[in-house]
A and B are shown apart, each in its own frame.
Chain A
Amino acid sequence: MDDESQRELKEFIEQESAKSQIQNAVHSFTSRCWETCISNAKSNQLDKKETACLQNCVERFIDASVHVVKRLQNSQH
Chain B
Amino acid sequence: MNSGSGLGDYNLDLSGPITSVKKEAIKQQIKQELAMANAQELINNINKNCFKMCVPSPGTSLSSSEEVSLNRCIDKYLASWDIVSQAYVSRIQREKH
- Give the interface of A toward B (CB within 8 A): 1-2, 5, 8-9, 12-13, 16, 19-20, 22-27, 29-31, 33-35, 37-38, 40-46, 50-51, 54-55, 57-59, 62
Contact = CB atoms under 8 A, between A and B. Distances in A.
Interface of B: 18, 23, 26-27, 30-31, 34, 37-38, 41-42, 45, 48-50, 53-54, 69-73, 75-77, 79-81, 83-85, 87-89, 91-92
A26 B48 contact: no
12 contacts: A2-B18, A5-B23, A8-B23, A20-B37, A29-B84, A30-B77, A34-B80, A35-B49, A43-B76, A44-B75, A46-B79, A62-B91
Contacts of B26: 9
A59 B87 contact: yes
Contact of A55 (B54, B81, B87): B87
